[in-house]
Amino acid sequence: MAINHSEALLAQVAETLKSKTGLRFQSDRRGDLQRGIQSAAREMGFDDWQSLACWLLDSPLARKDIETLARHLTVGETYFRRDQKVFEFLEQTILPEIALTRRPHDRRLRIWSAGCSTGEEPYSIAISVQRAIPDWKEWNITLLATEIHLRLVEKARTGVYRQWSFRNCPDWLKQLYFTRKDNDFEIAPPIRKMVSFDYLNLAEDVYPSLSTGTNAMDVIFCRNVLMYFDAEAARRAIDSFHRSLVDGGWLVAGVTDAPSSFYSRFEPISFQGATLYRKSSRKTPVSLPKKEIAFPAPPVVGQKSESREKKEFPVVEDPIRIARGFYDEGRYEEAITELEKSLSRGLPKSEAMALMARSFANQGRLEEAREWCQRALLRDKLDARLHYLLAVIVEEEGKPQDAVIALNRALYIDSNFVMAHFKLAGIKLRLGKSKESRKHFQHAMSLLAARRDDEILPESEGITVERLRSIIRAIVEESSM
């Protein structure tokens, strides 16, 4: 039987989108795919969906292309306190438990809304934080909201919503946390300031990452996002979320996002018909490449044995290599144990200390992370990477001026350190020093111009040249530099 040309073209596009964006469109959803491409075609300057489809098959996708396609191919519609019982559990159980267990000098709270759409979810989370933690102003709170649709992020930052965003919401929400603005409602500034929005592609970007602040999370919300992913991309995202959480951290997922078997590394917790997933601290075997142990062969009868210098002995596994394996799997306590072995044996200390600092930082134990990074710097003061790592850690501690000092030292040692220029530009921008920020963004862009688009930048934890270039452009455009 002859295959319809349109169906064959849609099948090819579906496969291309799956590999480049993680979005899945099975055969029974090809009508949705065609309508989405038709809608995107008009915005992207194509005459019809077939022209756009053919272009997709032969052209690399830039960030703006992915954003446009994702916006037309997915449903970015939500409302405040969607699934009320989840927010009740957040306010009555999760946040009070965190407030009780954190030490007075370590009042840190980190929450990530992954796939935040137009912002109703992260703002709802911020409201829950204020309701559940009376002294929230005395805490170091990070509420990260990420989205692949840049236009949705821009709308979310305004904090202005129509009546439709409040359906199924309690009356007190608008009365206490919003002010009327013509026919719309604007969220209160203290709530808006709690949330930081950023672009992130859950299918392609690397997380957890100190560079993007997706590490050491107490709670991650990711609802109605993975339902668009194929099985491999969904599993990969869930495993990355597991590594992004501290021990005892929570993942709030959508009911239809993925089969329960995908969450096997989590402990399922039921509450009023809802299921949340908690990261336990139980230890499981690490997956490391097997290494054969060589023993000396017995001498042949009648022959002289070889000299002692040529005998082979059992290979001792490198503890730093083992620690790196644990670290990559998000098993930071076990990584620390192996690193302690390395340090006790007198193996390369600055490398072990730096990995120790990262392991503590990814658990949210910033004071210990800073101490280990400083120890490494005492041994190697001219390592620009260590100064950069220290800057990332102290910035998370809420010490931007200390981060600036560390980044300036890194750039004094290596003036071509791209990530240091980028990080320093971002901090300067938040400090209101736009002129200095622009200078470092420009320097970073000039350095990126000499690199391949697919090159992974040193100390970026997976960020490519093309990805960082597009991030800088978006920040500059948004801040009107």
> pLDDT digits over 286-307, tens only?
333 333 334 344 444 444 444 4
347 Cβ contact partners less than 8 Å away, ≥ 6 residues apart:
318, 319, 320
Average pLDDT over residues 323-342: 89
Q: Is the peptide bond before 208 cis (omega within 30 degrees of 0)?
A: yes
Question: How does residue 343 score in pLDDT terms, banded at 50, 70 and 90?
Answer: confident
- The pLDDT of residue 298 is 47
Please, are residues 393 and 361 in contact by the beta-carbon 8 Å criterion?
yes
Domain-terminating residue out of 258, 279, 300: 279
Is 462 part of a structural domain of the chain?
yes
- Judge if 134 and 199 occupy the same domain: yes
In the 8-state DSSP scheme, what is residue 164? G
Question: How does residue 471 score in pLDDT terms, banded at 50, 70 and 90?
Answer: confident
- Judge if 177 and 65 occupy the same domain: no
Confidence check: pLDDT of 141 > 70:
yes
- CB-based burial, 174-185: b 16+ in 10 Å, e otherwise: beebbeeeeeeb
- The pLDDT of residue 75 is 57
Is 427 part of a structural domain of the chain?
yes
- Judge if 151 and 109 occupy the same domain: yes
- The pLDDT of residue 356 is 94
For the chain, the straight-line distance linking the first and the last C-alpha, in angstroms and rounded, comes to 59
Between 9 and 131, residue with greater pLDDT: 131
Domain that holds residue 24: 5-73
- Judge if 128 and 264 occupy the same domain: yes
What's the rounded Cα separation, in Å, for the pair 115 and 422?
A: 24
- The pLDDT of residue 57 is 84
Is 466 part of a structural domain of the chain?
yes
Place of tokens 């960020």: 463
Which of 4-8, 38-42, 107-111, 205-209 has maximum average pLDDT?
A: 107-111
401 Cβ contact partners less than 8 Å away, ≥ 6 residues apart:
none
Domain CATH code at residue 157: 3.40.50.150
Question: How does residue 123 score in pLDDT terms, banded at 50, 70 and 90?
Answer: very high
Domain CATH code at residue 480: 1.25.40
What's the rounded Cα separation, in Å, for the pair 130 and 120?
A: 16
Put the strands of the sheet holding 160-161 in their side by side order: 160-161, 184-187, 178-181
Report the largest interatomic distance among the alpha carbons of the chain, rounded to a whole angstrom.
102
Confidence check: pLDDT of 372 > 60:
yes
- The pLDDT of residue 380 is 92
Name the phi and psi angles at 320, rounded to 5: -65, -40
Domain-terminating residue out of 31, 52, 73: 73
Domain count, the chain: 4
What percentage of the chain carries pLDDT values higher than 90? 49
- Judge if 361 and 413 occupy the same domain: no
Question: How does residue 236 score in pLDDT terms, banded at 50, 70 and 90?
Answer: very high
* Mean per-residue pLDDT of the chain: 84
Confidence check: pLDDT of 71 > 70:
no
- The pLDDT of residue 287 is 39
Please, are residues 157 and 189 in contact by the beta-carbon 8 Å criterion?
no
